[in-house]
Amino acid sequence: MITYSETKNFEIDEIRSLFLSVNWESGKYPEKIREGLKNSSHVISAWDGDRLVGLVRGLDDGATAAFLHYLLVDPAYQGQHIGEELMKRILSFYEDLLYVKIIPSDPKTIPFYERFGFREYDNYSAMVIKRL
């Protein structure tokens, strides 16, 4: 049975395992991810017993805007609606904000986010400085 938690405390190996399971390059920097999670506005994680199998985090200003980052589910657990549950839970914190933004890293995930009301901006492109 999958359980959900709002903890911000994770072991390095838990982070590394989850992030590398989805081939995210940032999984090579679990210490930085752990520190970032501790400093995030909201973090919701999914667990199978003591195994971290999913995670989403939100960064916000408390009034106008939130950015969702790190929505990921271990491939061995995909298809069990864990990502959907993580989204429902994180979005519940942001019902009164003017904007909630997400930048999908894979175009194939866009239909998933559209189910929650996300839409692409007409004239908006994401930009990043990458230091991995």
3-state secondary structure 63-77: CCEEEEEEEEECHHH
Assess whether pLDDT exceeds 80 at residue 3.
yes
The residues spanned by each domain of the chain are 2-114
Q: Is a pLDDT exceeding 90 seen at residue 22?
A: yes
Q: What is the per-residue pLDDT for 29?
A: 96
Instruction: Give the position of tokens 């004239």.
Output: 123
pTM for the full model?
A: 0.92
Q: Which residue has the tokens 């903890």?
A: 7
Which architecture does CATH list for 2-114?
3-Layer(aba) Sandwich (3.40)
Q: What is the pLDDT of residues 93-122, one digit of tens each?
A: 999 999 999 988 888 999 999 999 999 887
Q: What is the pLDDT of residue 130?
A: 80
What's the pLDDT tens digit per position in 52-86?
A: 999 999 999 999 999 999 899 999 999 999 999 99
Other beta carbons within 10 Å of 116: 14
Spatial separation of the C-alpha atoms in residues 48 and 124, rounded to whole Å: 38
